[in-house]
Amino acid sequence: MSLVQTQIIHSNIAIVTLANPDRLNVLSKQLIAELNTSLDTLENDEGIKCIIITGTGKVFSGGADLKELQTVSLDGKVENDFIEHWQRLSLITKPVIAAVNGYALGGGLELALMADLIIASKEAQFGQPEIKLSLLPGGGGTQRLARLIGKAKAMVLCLTGEPITAEEALKWGLVNTVTEHADLMPTALKMAEKIATHPLSILKMIKKAIASGTEMSLSEGLKMERELFWKACKEGSYKEAISAFLNRR
């Protein structure tokens, strides 16, 4: 049985669905392998401009597969670091929207944090409950959360293990938009459609500028931004776009 389903909309938008609700869409080796295969295909498909990742049932993802975690090798070798395989989503160069339909806990929240935009159902909840298992987040939770919502709020989520609601996540700056549950996918699709009207090369540059810039000093980030700007001028069709804009006026 396939644990990940991929659907193409309008020929340029992909919806990737975690489809193992009976097991809370846990990030098992099989699910991650299927997810990464799908992501590789979509990354290499020049027709796809935006990817939406979501879940089935009442769960986006419940995080790590605890049964597999019980038997994981602890010899410290890189090849046994199963968490590394979770990071593929963070390496996608195209815009990614996480449409969080329900619980996003532990690795599930970490997966959502790898997206560029998070749209949440009112039924969604977000949390890093690893502390309750005498563990800490290992897939980016302590790092991406602190960068996104600040040290104080990241500390609350990670030190207490208690989840927050979608509305709280919106106030904290963790998610971009909260919708009624029935409106979740239409809202995500509407956003994806807006994104997909633009050239893929420029979408990739913008994503790179923002994502990479947050890890640089301001001067380094500004230098990279200028380099990408002039690259866009050389490679893009901005003159035609400006002409079309001026003619419409």
The Cα–Cα gap between 98 and 12 comes to: 17
Among 143, 147, 135, 49, which Cα is nearest to 92's? 49
Among 54, 61, 69, which Cα is nearest to 24's? 61
What is the domain partition of the chain in residue ranges?
4-195, 200-248
Question: Average pLDDT of the chain?
Answer: 92
The Cα–Cα gap between 42 and 93 comes to: 10
pLDDT tens digits, one per residue of 177-221? 999 999 999 999 999 999 999 999 999 999 999 999 988 899 999
pLDDT tens digits, one per residue of 78-88? 455 677 888 99
How confident is the model at residue 75, as a pLDDT? 66
How confident is the model at residue 117, as a pLDDT? 98
* pTM beyond cutoff 0.95: no
The Cα–Cα gap between 178 and 161 comes to: 22
Q: Which CATH number fits domain 4-195: 3.90.550.10, 3.30.56.10, 3.90.226.10, 3.40.50.620?
A: 3.90.226.10
How confident is the model at residue 67, as a pLDDT? 84
Side-chain half-sphere of 51: how many Cα atoms within 13 Å? 28
Residues marked as catalytic = 64, 107, 110, 130
